[in-house]
């Protein structure tokens, strides 16, 4: 039944097939949430998720990876949408990076959501519920980050702040914290 659901969108644009919003709507929704946050003082989180798949060729080195194709991105988008809250806004950038805006979620909640999404996506491609515990056996590689919007600016992982500011389409102030490589256990679990 899930396979039928995931195949149902053939012929539609990628964002529609994946259950994600297009960039103009993502930008509009982000600006609305930033304005609400500025008025109320309530923070929200942004997450970024970039995926790669191990190349299947036997002659390739074990660290050869490729970007996901449109069908794979649509499958991941559907999976994330199925597990997201109704108020979460998920979008796909032109470079294949998935972005999630999580209203009324602090960074710790966003980290938890990202961990769950990582397990779900690993299961989608690796066929196991916990992802492959041996990173050399995984078929999917994750580059992910979170940032928090509060007091007229984004703060958090450098790449997440860069992407959030880019999506906002304006010179929102940004302060970056540790890069994903310096974040300890989270970075150790991703390749």
The predicted structure's pLDDT at residue 17:
74
Tokens representing 119 are 């397990």
- CA 146, CA 162: separation in Å to the nearest integer? 11
Cβ pair 20, 162 in contact under 8 A: no
Cα–Cα distance between 122 and 64 in angstroms, integer? 17
By three-state DSSP, how is residue 50 classified?
A: strand
Q: Which two tokens stand for residue 104?
A: 């009324």
- What is the reported pLDDT for 109? 92
For 189, the token pair is 């679990």
Domains of the chain, by residue range, sit at 2-188
Residues for the chain: how many in total? 191
Query: N- to C-terminal Cα distance for the chain?
Result: 31
Angle at 102 between CA 97 and CA 108, to 5 degrees: 100
Residue 88: closest CA among 35, 143, 46: 46
pLDDT in 10s for each residue of the chain, 191 residues: 445 444 544 445 777 777 789 889 999 999 999 999 999 999 999 999 998 887 766 555 556 778 888 888 999 999 999 999 999 999 988 888 999 999 999 888 999 999 999 999 988 887 644 444 444 556 888 889 999 999 889 999 999 999 999 999 865 444 444 433 333 333 333 33
Q: Whole-model pTM above 0.85? A: no
Please give the CATH architecture assigned to the domain spanning 2-188.
2-Layer Sandwich (3.30)
What pLDDT score was predicted for residue 62?
58
Q: 110 has which bridge partners?
A: none
Token digits for 38?
């500025």
């Amino acid at each position: 039944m899930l396979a039928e659901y995931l195949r149902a969108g053939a012929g539609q644009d990628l964002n529609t097939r994946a259950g994600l919003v297009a960039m103009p709507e993502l930008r509009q929704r982000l600006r609305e949430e930033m304005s609400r946050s500025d008025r109320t003082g309530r923070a929200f989180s942004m997450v970024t998720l970039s995926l790669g798949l191990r190349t299947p060729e036997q002659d390739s080195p074990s660290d050869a990876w490729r970007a996901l194709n449109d069908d794979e991105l649509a499958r991941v988008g559907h999976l994330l949408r199925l597990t997201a809250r109704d108020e979460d806004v998920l979008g796909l950038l032109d470079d294949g990076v998935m972005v999630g805006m999580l209203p009324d979620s602090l960074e710790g909640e966003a980290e938890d959501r990202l961990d769950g999404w990582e397990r779900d996506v690993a299961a989608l491609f690796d066929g196991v519920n916990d992802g492959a515990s041996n990173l050399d056996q995984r078929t999917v590689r994750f580059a992910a980050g979170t940032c928090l919007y509060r007091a007229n600016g984004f703060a958090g992982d450098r790449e997440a702040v860069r992407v959030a500011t880019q999506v906002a389409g304006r010179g929102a102030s940004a302060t970056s914290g540790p890069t994903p490589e310096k974040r300890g256990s989270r970075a150790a679990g991703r390749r």
